[in-house]
Every structure is written in C-alpha cells, then in structure tokens.
C-alpha cells in the first residue's frame, strides 16, 4: 500500500511504530553520515601517503622496478581520489516537501517523512559500501608497494662485471 492510500484513522494505531521507525531512520542516517566521513578521511590519508611514498620510492630506487613502484603508488592514490571525488547524494530537502507536508495530516506527514528517510538510507548504502571497499583496496595496493620496495632494497645488487 502506498503512503497516499493511508488515512489518519488507519495510521492512528501505528503512531508508536511510526515514532520508532522515524527514530531508527534518524539514527541510521546519522551513523551513515559518520561512516561516510570516516571513509573520506581515510581516502584523503591514502592519497597523501601514496603521493609521499611514490616520491620517496622514485628518489631511492634507480632500477627498472621504480616504474612498478610508481605504478602501485599511482593506483593507490587513484583509489583515494575516486573516493573523495564529489558526488551527488540524495538528501531530504525540507523546503521541497514543506508545501506537501502542510496539506497532510500530522500522522501522514510523519509517515511520509520517515518513509523518505528510510528510502534515502537504502539508496545511499551501496555507494558507501563500494567506496569503503575501494579505500581498502587502495591501502592493500599501497602495502604491496611498500613490500616490493623493501624486497628491492633488501636484495643485494651485484656490481657490473667488466671483462677485458
């Protein structure tokens, strides 16, 4: 049944459930916003760390492996930049729903706003999960770059032999 089909009398017995859903939707959106801020913060750190590591690796290694190291650092930085890239997110615009809310009864308005919050949460969650995975992959690539750099540094390089 769509929200427009509910009347005030049908929603009256559901008042406590509507309050619970509205409170849970608010808590879920607040938690989601905090997780999004955390993911973006980690992505910023990843981008900076990849840039610094790439610079250090480029100046300390002189073999062909420097290209592999720079490529790994670039991929890690690209993961971080992908996550911090500005994107459109669905949010609840009070000024857009206010005219409609004024025409609704209080319970219908409460139900509609709670439904919209749940919809927004469900719509934003997959994108947030995808961005968190991209940050994790970026850190794994950065760790691989560090491991390769340590292996290269630990491997003794034989001096060139001259035959004559």
- Per-residue pLDDT in tens (0 to 9) along the chain, 164 residues: 444 566 677 777 777 788 888 899 999 999 999 999 999 999 999 999 999 998 888 888 777 888 888 999 999 999 999 998 877 766 666 666 666 666 777 777 788 888 888 888 999 999 999 999 999 999 999 999 999 888 888 887 666 677 65
- Its pTM stands at 0.76
Phi, psi (5° rounding) for residue 161?
-95, 140
**Domain-wise residue ranges, the chain:** 16-153
Calpha distance 9→30 (Å, rounded): 31
């Amino acid at each position: 049944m769509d929200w427009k089909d509910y009347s005030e009398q049908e929603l009256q017995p559901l008042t406590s459930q509507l309050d619970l859903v509205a409170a849970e939707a608010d808590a879920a959106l607040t938690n989601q916003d905090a997780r999004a801020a955390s993911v973006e913060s980690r992505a910023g750190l990843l981008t900076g760390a990849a840039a610094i590591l790439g610079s250090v690796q480029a100046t300390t290694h002189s073999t062909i492996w420097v290209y592999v190291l720079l490529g790994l650092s670039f991929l890690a930085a690209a993961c971080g930049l992908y996550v911090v890239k500005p994107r459109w997110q669905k949010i609840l615009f009070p000024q857009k729903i206010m005219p409609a809310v004024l025409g609704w009864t209080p319970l219908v308005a409460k139900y509609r706003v709670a439904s919209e919050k749940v919809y927004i949460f469900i719509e934003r969650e997959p994108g947030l999960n995808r961005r968190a995975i991209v940050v994790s992959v970026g850190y794994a690539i950065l760790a691989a770059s560090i491991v390769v750099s340590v292996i290269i540094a630990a491997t003794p390089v034989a001096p060139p032999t001259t035959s004559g």
